[in-house]
């Protein structure tokens, strides 16, 4: 027999849209690039400012705030049976270079507002409700995506990796963390959460794709998250003078990189499914002078699929191409480093059902969909039942300054999140 929420709860949920929009706008000013773009990189001054901003808002909402050794931030509203495992929600506020102000942010500020909405309605949670702001969902600074949630999920591999991780300026991960105030960052295992620490996790996020807007649907209920992999590659050649070294004598590391980038596209297109995608988003040449043959090249490759095996077979083919290009061009393949090769995650059936009935009770249209972007939810799914709620965004734009969701769509998402959390908190 399922515990019931009061019939009137769904009609008494009201979002303070003005205040929420104000917070989204204010947070977007903590940026290293100028508006409308947002750039907020892990442990930078602007990231530290955004952390302080979020903690203040959590405290103003009456949440008890704690932070772990790497800066995942938790704000808890105690339930009336506080010994039960809490229900958690949250997202990230870091932003890749020249991106927008909604990716992640909607799921953090929106989650705190969902708690406010429930408080104003008079609802009292049985299980505690907890909002999490994850550290570094984006891989920008250290090349590692979902750094905070990966650690929460207990990744020993990441612990080893972080001991030798530096950013592009050669700043060590631990030094960067310390400079942002995380003095105990080396104590990485203290970040791990035990399986069962939460009874569930739900993330609110903009869709980052065009489907909801195109179909005029208010809510996406995510059933699965696609499987991302990322690879760092380096080629080395002899370099030399752009005029004096004749073509037959060259081993151009830049051309090897260019050829590999095209090979990535080819292998992805030949996978047999439109669900396979691949991107070379970073391509750097050394020394980077018009009259010098590139002696070194560096590529970072992102490839994803909803089918893990198919994604893995693309990764293998990329490796084979890297080997054959290096052989044929006489350049050295000095690095082929698979940074991560993550499996996909499935949403929990009960959380899907809760989000669906929350949408129905709020008279909002919804559809089930998969997430092609990855999220902290991918890793939370390793330690707790997981679900995600999507809202429409303008033309599906994301990871660029034009990213936009209307406050009406955001408020719908916040209400569905609030009602879903309420349902999970009494079960």
Residue 110, CB half-sphere, CA atoms under 13 Å: how many?
36
Cα distance between residue 416 and residue 313, in whole Å: 38
Site for Mn ion in 320-379 (CB under 5 A): 373
- Nearest-approach distance from CB 208 to ligand GLV, in angstroms: 7
Q: Which is nearer to ligand GLV, 55 or 382 (CB)?
A: 382
Residue nearest to ligand GLV (CB): 373
Q: Is 373 in the site for ligand GLV (CB under 6 A)?
A: yes
Within 374-403, the residues that bind ligand GLV by CB under 6 A are 374
Structure letter (DSSP) for residue 197: S
How far apart are alpha carbons 107 and 202 in whole angstroms?
A: 9
Bridge partners of residue 92, in order along the sequence: 134
Instruction: Considering the complex, state which of residue 104 and residue 344 has its C-beta at the smaller distance from Mn ion.
Output: 104
Among residues 80, 77, 100, the alpha carbon closest in space to that of 90 is found at 77
Task: Report what 376 binds from Mn ion, ligand GLV, none; CB cut-off 5-8 Å by kind.
Answer: none
Task: For the chain, state the CA radius of gyration.
Answer: 23
Report how far residue 209's alpha carbon sits from residue 191's, in angstroms, rounded to the nearest whole number: 32
Residue 79 vs 344, nearer CB to ligand GLV: 344
The reply on whether position 148 binds Mn ion by CB under 5 A is no
CA–CA gap between residue 298 and residue 295 (Å, rounded): 10
Of the pair 373, 416, the CB lying nearest ligand GLV is at 373
- Which of 38/373 has CB closer to ligand GLV? 373
Residue among 359, 405, 423 nearest 220 (CA): 359
**In the chain, count of helices (H) and strands (E)?**
12, 17
Q: Kindly state whether residue 38 participates in binding ligand GLV, applying the rule CB under 6 A.
A: no
Q: What minimum distance in Å lies between the beta carbon of 203 and Mn ion?
A: 9
User: 118: closest CA among 423, 364, 418, 361?
Assistant: 418
CB of 72 to ligand GLV, least distance (A): 17
Whose Cβ is closer to ligand GLV: residue 229's or residue 373's?
373
Which x/- pattern, by CB under 5 A, does the window 87-126 give for Mn ion? ----------------xx----------------------
- Dihedral sign, CA of 63, 109, 184, 182? negative
Nearer to ligand GLV by Cβ, of 217 and 225: the residue is: 225
Give, for 110, the enclosing helix (H) or strand (E).
helix 105-121
Residues that bind ligand GLV (CB under 6 A): 138, 373-374
Residues that bind Mn ion (CB under 5 A): 103-104, 373
């Amino acid at each position: 027999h399922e515990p019931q929420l009061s019939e009137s709860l769904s009609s008494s949920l009201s979002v303070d849209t003005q205040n929420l929009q104000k917070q989204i706008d204010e947070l977007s000013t903590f940026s290293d690039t100028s508006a409308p773009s947002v750039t907020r990189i892990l442990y930078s001054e602007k990231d530290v400012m955004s952390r302080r901003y979020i903690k203040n808002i959590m405290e103003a909402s009456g949440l008890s705030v704690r932070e772990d050794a790497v800066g995942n931030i938790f704000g808890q509203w105690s339930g009336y049976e506080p010994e039960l495992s809490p229900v958690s929600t949250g997202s990230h506020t870091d932003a890749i270079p020249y991106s927008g102000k909604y990716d992640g942010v909607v799921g953090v500020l929106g989650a705190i507002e969902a708690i406010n909405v429930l408080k104003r309605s008079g609802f009292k949670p049985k299980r505690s409700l907890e909002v999490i702001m994850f550290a570094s969902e984006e891989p920008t600074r250290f090349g590692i995506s979902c750094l905070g949630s990966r650690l929460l999920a207990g990744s020993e591999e990441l612990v080893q990796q972080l001991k030798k991780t530096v950013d592009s300026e050669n700043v060590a991960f631990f030094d960067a963390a310390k400079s942002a105030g995380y003095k105990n960052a080396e104590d990485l295992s203290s970040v791990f959460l035990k399986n069962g620490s939460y009874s569930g996790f739900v993330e609110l996020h903009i869709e980052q794709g065009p489907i909801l807007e195109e179909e005029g649907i208010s809510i996406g209920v995510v059933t699965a998250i696609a499987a991302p992999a990322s690879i760092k590659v380096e080629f080395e050649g002899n370099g030399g003078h752009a005029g004096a070294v004749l073509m037959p004598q060259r081993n151009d590391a830049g051309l090897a990189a260019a050829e590999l980038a095209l090979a990535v596209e080819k292998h992805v297109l030949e996978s047999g499914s439109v669900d396979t995608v691949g991107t070379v988003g970073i391509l750097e040449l050394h020394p980077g002078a018009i009259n010098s043959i590139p002696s070194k090249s560096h590529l970072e490759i992102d490839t994803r699929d909803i089918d893990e095996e198919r994604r893995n077979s693309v990764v293998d083919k990329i490796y084979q191409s890297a080997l054959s290009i290096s052989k044929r061009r006489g350049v050295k393949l000095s690095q082929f480093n698979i940074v991560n090769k993550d499996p996909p995650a499935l949403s929990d059936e009960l959380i899907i059902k809760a989000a669906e009935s929350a949408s129905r009770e709020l008279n909002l249209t919804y559809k089930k969909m998969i997430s092609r972007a990855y999220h902290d939810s991918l890793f939370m799914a390793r330690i707790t039942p997981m679900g995600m709620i999507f809202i429409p965004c303008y033309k599906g734009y994301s990871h660029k300054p034009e990213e936009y969701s209307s406050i009406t769509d955001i408020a719908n998402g916040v209400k569905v999140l609030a009602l879903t959390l309420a349902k999970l908190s009494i079960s």
